[in-house]
């Protein structure tokens, strides 16, 4: 994947299932500074829809990209405020 | 926009001063309303009444997820829902093998002594294999995220709970009025 952004932190939630990928993503984003990017690596296929929905309804975050790669789902979220 | 005064109906049209007064009045009213609904914090209120293993999950999953969405969440636990807040009992919640037609065993078999323990073990194994979060993990996570767990005072006394046995951070000394107030202010209200 050619990313136009630098990843600040990676959160590994492989194996974890709903609701943990979203809940842990939120906690990890809280620890970042504005402009920084979190990479979330999950194996829960529900995380594609869940993290998209979460990012959509939550202020201060922007979903940059979501990639499915061999049963691993990667999400890139920027903290915007 | 043009500031020209239209020539017609000059007699009964409100004067500029009257309009200005009216605008001021409306602005004040709007400020009051904004102050009232002003805190743009979204709120969710859940009433949790069941203490079986399967019924303990939905309120906790929704509470922690809503907290991740930025909701202020309160979960009011009453009757068997109190078991979810009880540190020891929450780790030993049971599944009922009767009363649910979707269970793999017929009700008449489910009623045999020991069957609840067996179906609970099966469920616990599935939870473990699937790496689904445990009840304890969901409670700790929710508390970390600011979810407020409330334990109904009336049912604590009715059912003889020892408040000391609840998880740290659980609010006691609350009743139905507190729950109603939370529900009235909430954007989402759920009874589980």
Q: Which candidate, B170, B189, B143, places its Cα nearest to that of B77?
A: B170
DSSP B55-99: HHHHHHHHHHHHHHTT-EEEEEE-GGGHHHHBTTGGGG----SSS
* Domain ranges across chain A: 9-79
- Chain A hits for B65, Cβ within 8 Å: 19, 22-23, 54
Nearest-neighbour CA in chain B from A31: distance (Å): 13
| Residue B113, pLDDT above cutoff 50 | yes
User: Is B40 touching A (CB cutoff 8 A)?
Assistant: no
| Residue B158, pLDDT above cutoff 80 | yes
User: Is there a catalytic annotation at residue A6?
Assistant: no
- Provide the pLDDT for residue A51: 95
Nearest-Cα residue of chain A relative to residue B127: A17
Residues of A60-79 as b/e, b for ≥16 C-beta within 10 angstroms?
ebebbebeeeeeebbbbbbb
| Residue B79, pLDDT above cutoff 70 | yes
User: Is A46 touching B (CB cutoff 8 A)?
Assistant: no
Identify any residues that bridge with B171 across adjacent strands, giving them in sequence order. Answer: B150
**Confidence class of residue B91 from pLDDT cuts 50, 70 and 90?**
very high
Number of alpha carbons in the 13 Å side-chain half-sphere of residue A79: 19
- Chain B hits for A17, Cβ within 8 Å: 130-133
Q: With pLDDT > 90 as the criterion, what percentage of chain B qualifies?
A: 71
Does the beta-carbon distance from B65 to A17 stay under 8 Å? no
Lowest mean pLDDT among A12-21, B27-36, B124-133, B183-192: B27-36
Nearest-Cα residue of chain B relative to residue A26: B68
- Provide the pLDDT for residue B103: 82
Lowest mean pLDDT among A46-50, B4-8, B161-165: B4-8
Lowest mean pLDDT among A13-17, B35-39, B104-108, B178-182: B35-39
Fold of B42-97+135-191: Hypothetical Protein Ychn; Chain: A, (3.40.1260)
| Residue B145, pLDDT above cutoff 90 | yes
Average pLDDT, chain B: 90
| Residue B82, pLDDT above cutoff 50 | yes
B71, B189 contact by CB (below 8 A) = no
- Provide the pLDDT for residue A2: 47
Does the beta-carbon distance from A17 to B141 stay under 8 Å? no
- Provide the pLDDT for residue B7: 56
Number of alpha carbons in the 13 Å side-chain half-sphere of residue A46: 9
- Provide the pLDDT for residue B169: 94
Cβ neighbours for B54, distance < 8 A, ≥ 6 positions apart:
B95, B123
Task: State the best of B68, B70, B73 to mutate against chain A, taking most chain A CBs within 10 Å.
Answer: B68
User: Is B70 touching A (CB cutoff 8 A)?
Assistant: yes
Cβ neighbours for B136, distance < 8 A, ≥ 6 positions apart:
B90, B91
Nearest-Cα residue of chain B relative to residue A30: B68
DSSP chain A: ---SS---EEEEETT--TTHHHHHHHHHHHTSPTT-EEEEEE--TTHHHHHHHHHHHSTTEEEEEEEEETTEEEEEEEE--
- Chain A hits for B128, Cβ within 8 Å: none
Does the beta-carbon distance from A59 to B70 stay under 8 Å? yes
Fold of A9-79: Translation Initiation Factor IF3 (3.30.110)
| Residue B40, pLDDT above cutoff 80 | no
Residues of B43-61 as b/e, b for ≥16 C-beta within 10 angstroms?
bbbbbbbbbbbebbbebbb
Q: What is the ipTM of this complex?
A: 0.82
Average pLDDT over residues A65-75: 94
- A18, A27, A72, A80: which is the annotated catalytic residue? A18
* Domain ranges across chain B: 42-97+135-191
A59, A77 contact by CB (below 8 A) = no
**Confidence class of residue B94 from pLDDT cuts 50, 70 and 90?**
very high
Partner residue facing A23 (CB), from B130, B131, B141: B141
**Confidence class of residue A42 from pLDDT cuts 50, 70 and 90?**
very high
């Amino acid at each position: 994947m050619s990313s136009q952004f630098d990843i600040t932190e990676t959160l590994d939630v492989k194996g974890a299932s709903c609701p943990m990928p979203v809940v842990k993503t939120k906690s990890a984003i809280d620890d970042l500074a504005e402009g920084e990017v979190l990479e979330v690596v999950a194996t829960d296929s529900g995380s594609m829809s869940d993290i998209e929905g979460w990012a959509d309804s939550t202020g201060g975050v922007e979903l940059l990209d979501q990639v499915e790669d061999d049963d691993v789902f990667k999400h890139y979220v920027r903290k915007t405020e | 926009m043009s500031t020209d005064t239209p020539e017609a109906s000059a007699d009964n049209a409100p004067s500029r001063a009257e309009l200005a007064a009216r605008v001021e009045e409306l602005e004040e009213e709007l400020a009051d309303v904004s102050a009232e609904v002003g805190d743009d914090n979204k709120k969710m209120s859940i009433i949790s009444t069941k203490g079986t293993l399967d019924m303990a999950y939905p309120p906790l999953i929704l509470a922690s997820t809503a907290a991740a969405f930025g909701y202020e969440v309160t979960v009011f636990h009453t009757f068997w829902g109190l078991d979810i807040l009880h540190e020891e009992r929450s780790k030993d919640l049971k599944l009922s093998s009767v009363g649910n037609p979707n269970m793999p065993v017929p009700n008449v078999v489910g009623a045999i002594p020991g069957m609840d323990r067996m179906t609970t073990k099966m469920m616990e194994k599935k939870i473990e294999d699937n790496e689904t979060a445990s009840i304890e993990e969901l409670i700790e996570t929710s508390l970390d995220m600011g979810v407020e767990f409330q334990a109904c005072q009336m049912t604590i006394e009715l059912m003889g709970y020892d408040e000391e046995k609840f998880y740290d951070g659980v609010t006691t000394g609350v009743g139905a009025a507190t729950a109603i107030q939370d529900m009235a202010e909430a954007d989402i209200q759920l009874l589980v």
